[in-house]
Amino acid sequence: MKQPRRPNVIWVFGEQHRAQSLGYRGDPNVFTPNIDNLARNGLRFDQAVAGSPWCCPFRGALLTGQYPQQNGVTQTPGRLNPALPTVTAPLRANGYHTAYIGKWHLHGSNDPETLVPPEERGGFDYWKGYENNNNQHEVFVYGTDDETPRRLPGYETDSLTDIFLGHLAGHVGENAEEYQPFFAVLSVQPPHSPYVGPHTGESSGRPRNPATVKLRPNVPPVPWIQDKARLDYDGYSGMIENLDTNIGRIREKLKELGVDQDTWIVFFSDHGDMLGSHGQWEKSSPWEESIRIPFMVSRLGGQERMQTGISDAVLNHVDIAPTTLGLCGIDTPAEMVGYNYAKECFHNDDPWKETTPDPGPAPESAFLQQIPRKFHPHSVNKAWRGVVTRDGWKYVCQEGNDWLLHNLREDPYELANFAHDHAFAEARQRCHDLLTEWLSKTGDSFSLPPREG
């Protein structure tokens, strides 16, 4: 019997898009019908986290399947050693065409004029992007077919999606039966600050009014915090709605090309954004708005093509590459330390379900890290480590000191901190032990506070 062609995989991710800011998650400020449809037709990992909620550390872990202290990318800016294998190596070895379009940020610079040399582009067959940029209306890209930086003609997410779809169309060509299976990545800066969305056109989203923004209950009732949070969140929402519009364009193009049923879409983000919660802004904090990311695996046809619903797995950044390979029927390389969640996604009669070994029991917790001390305004200026559990506990400590202990099932906004409440000593001790194991397992030398008792 002839083995079926391997499925395609697409990654789509933005910067600082927190898990809570989606229609299907109950946010009244955003309208995201296309992403919501991905969730309906796919498997949602609603407990997914950015274990290192900062741009470069996440991206290094994403591509290598290794923790930041293992791959060397521990801060932003950070450079990924080009000698390290990435997710492209096993994909290319198994006949895949690999393509990357958009923000890279693994060459070690925050300067938008820095050019990423071909040998530092993660081994992708096709690469068109830029290192870093914080002006979504003035983006210059270059790459495989033209190394001269050229300004995008429109808003970043729209124009990068144009390039992405054009490359897919050229790769698949006129004969959808003969093309090489592909792994393609679309990485966009929005909804990263500055919170300025597209100005005009269909992709600009609905009419907006900052005064109508409904803030999360953990945004303190301090006038300047609430005023800033409403203004920022209004722009942030528009950027998310623009991304949602482009998700719809991608799905329509896959249908047009005749490869929609053969393609997994994996949608996620590199970390979240506090946007005033607990008086904090942006990333690198251990609270939910910073660490929780949207993560879903979707395929046209929903229940007829894959398992759907909600997984309670605490999927982390190091798990994305192994899971992606598993969706393609490819074994996890020895150098990747993450867990392969692909078997949760396969339909029972999918021929690729049994092609990868059983990964064993899934982790009961996920490891959280802010490795170097940070000094960004309105952000935590201490290094910290933490753990979140599948059953809803979060424990975080700074060097030598307990800091946070939350029961997230009872307190999703993290308003009650039990880190220094002896009535919760048992929960603290359990989480402390889990964190100790993660430090040992990953080679992290962070100094924990004393164990309870």
Q: Reduced to 3 states, what is the DSSP secondary structure of residue 227?
A: helix
| Rama region for 276: left / alpha / beta (φ>0; ψ in -120 to 50; rest) | left
Other beta carbons within 10 Å of 35: 25
Helix axes 156-172, 223-257, angle to 10 degrees: 20
Q: How far apart are CA 411 and CA 223, in angstroms?
A: 24
Residue 440, helix vs strand vs coil: helix
Residues of the chain with CATH 3.40.720.10: 8-344
pLDDT of residue 1: 40
Residue ranges, CATH 3.30.1120, the chain: 382-442
Which tokens go with 444?
A: 């992290």
Query: N- to C-terminal Cα distance for the chain?
Result: 61
Comparing CA positions, the residue from 243, 254, 266 lying closest to residue 34 is 243
pLDDT, averaged in runs of 10, over the chain (453 residues): 78 98 96 96 97 98 98 97 98 98 97 96 98 95 97 97 98 84 98 88 70 97 98 95 96 95 96 98 97 95 83 98 96 97 89 81 97 85 96 97 97 98 96 98 96 74
Instruction: Please tell me what DSSP assigns to residue 270.
Output: S
Phi-psi region of 72 (alpha: psi -120 to 50; beta: other; left: phi over 0): left
Give 318's DSSP letter. Answer: G
Reply yes or no on domain 8-344 having CATH 2.60.40.730: no
DSSP 134-202: S-TTS-EEEETTEEEEEE-SS-HHHHHHHHHHHHHHHHH-S-TTTSPPEEEEEE--TTSSS-----SSG
- Report whether the peptide linkage leading into residue 191 is cis, meaning its omega lies within 30 degrees of zero: yes
Residue 311 host element (H or E): strand 309-311
What CA–CA distance (Å, rounded) separates 354 from 359? Answer: 11
Nearest to 271 by CA among 138, 374, 402: 374
Residue matched to tokens 């049994």? 354
CA distances from 49 to 45, 185, 192, 268, 383 (A): 9, 20, 17, 10, 18
Looking only at the bridges linking them, the beta strands covering 140-143 and 126-130 are antiparallel
d(CA 424, CA 402): 13
**Structure confidence at residue 205 (pLDDT):** 61
Task: Look at the block and give the residue holding tokens 């190394």.
Answer: 147
Among candidates 284, 273, 223, 213, which has minimal Cα distance to 52? 284
Token digits of residue 73: 């990318």
Look up the CATH number of domain 382-442: 3.30.1120
**Strand 365-370, strand 126-130: pairing:** unpaired
CB within 8 Å of 266: residues ≥ 6 apart = 9, 10, 11, 12, 295, 296, 297, 298, 320, 323, 324, 327
β-pair type (309-311, 146-151)? unpaired
Question: Token pair of 18, please?
Answer: 């927190």
Total-model pTM:
0.96
Q: Estimate to the nearest angstrom the gap between the alpha carbon of 409 and the chain centroid.
A: 23
Cβ–Cβ under 8 Å, residues 53 and 63: no
